[in-house]
């Protein structure tokens, strides 16, 4: 099935249709196209013409090529006269349909073909969405999590030391010198600050604050670490004592 020209979009002819018009096996047409495209555009240029065809009846997908007029005519230049004539005749039909869209819509067979082509594209998109859904759901579940983890727990998840991670977060302007988050990152939902209490050996109740990293904050930290490739080295005792200025 060819890609029809609609609303000014360029027409292409698929390797499937070329095989049908010329009577050649599709795998042989694919081989000829790869050879031609490599000579014309180099190895990297082949991928720009490659697409996936999904059979709407059984859902199976396989690669095809979609060629504009120039490449399709170059391809059949080495074929027989009858094969070249079939391709040229088909291009004339495509160009006539492009200049008069109502002519296409008035032909029930061609209209069914157009609808089938777009059905194939919808099926392919639905399959991609199904493949991506588990990853998207996992990402959403993490970034929307309301129960935070301590920095020590996050360090274990990231397989690094808590001292190193605390220093990284301070260097990145996420935590202050006292390891509490800047207000802007609390407001953004990256961190939560909670109060904890314990009873000391004298029976006195002592309260303290603790920084928790939310799912959204964990995603931010992972992005920052990824952008730097590796965690920074632990600072020396001299540099560790200097506070990082608050971000403006």
Convert the pLDDT of each residue in 118-161 to its tens digit: 555 556 666 666 665 555 555 544 444 446 788 888 888 888 88
61 token code pair: 């997908």
| Cβ-based neighbour number of residue 143 at 10 Å | 15
Q: Is 115 exposed, middle or buried (0-12, 13-18, 19+ CB in 10 A)?
A: exposed
Matching residue, tokens 């604050």: 209
d(CA 18, CA 31): 13
Q: Would you call 147 helix, strand, or coil by DSSP?
A: coil
**pLDDT mean over 57-67:** 83
H helix or E strand, kind and range, residue 51: strand 50-54
pTM comes to 0.38
DSSP β-bridge partners for residue 64: 51
d(CA 237, CA 100): 78
């Amino acid at each position: 099935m060819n890609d029809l020209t609609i609303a000014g979009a360029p027409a292409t002819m698929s390797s499937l249709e070329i095989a049908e018009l010329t009577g050649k096996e599709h795998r042989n047409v694919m081989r000829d196209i790869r050879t031609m495209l490599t000579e014309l555009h180099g190895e990297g240029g082949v991928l720009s013409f490659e697409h996936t065809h999904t059979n709407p009846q059984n859902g199976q997908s396989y690669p095809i090529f979609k060629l504009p007029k120039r490449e399709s005519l170059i391809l059949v230049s080495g074929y027989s006269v009858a094969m070249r004539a079939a391709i040229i005749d088909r291009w004339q039909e495509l160009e006539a349909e492009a200049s008069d869209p109502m002519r296409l819509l008035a032909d029930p067979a061609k209209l069914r073909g157009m609808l089938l082509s777009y059905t194939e594209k919808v099926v392919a998109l639905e399959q991609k969405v199904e493949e991506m859904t588990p990853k998207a759901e996992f990402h959403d579940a993490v970034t929307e999590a309301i129960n935070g983890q301590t920095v020590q727990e996050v360090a274990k998840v990231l397989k690094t030391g808590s001292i190193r991670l605390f220093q990284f977060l301070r260097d990145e302007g996420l935590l202050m010198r006292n390891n509490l988050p800047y207000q802007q990152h609390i407001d953004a939902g990256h961190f939560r600050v909670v109060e904890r209490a314990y009873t000391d050996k004298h029976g006195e109740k002592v309260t303290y604050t603790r920084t928790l990293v939310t799912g959204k904050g964990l995603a931010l930290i992972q992005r920052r670490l990824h952008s730097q490739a590796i965690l920074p080295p632990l600072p020396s005792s001299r540099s560790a004592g200097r506070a990082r200025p608050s971000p403006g």
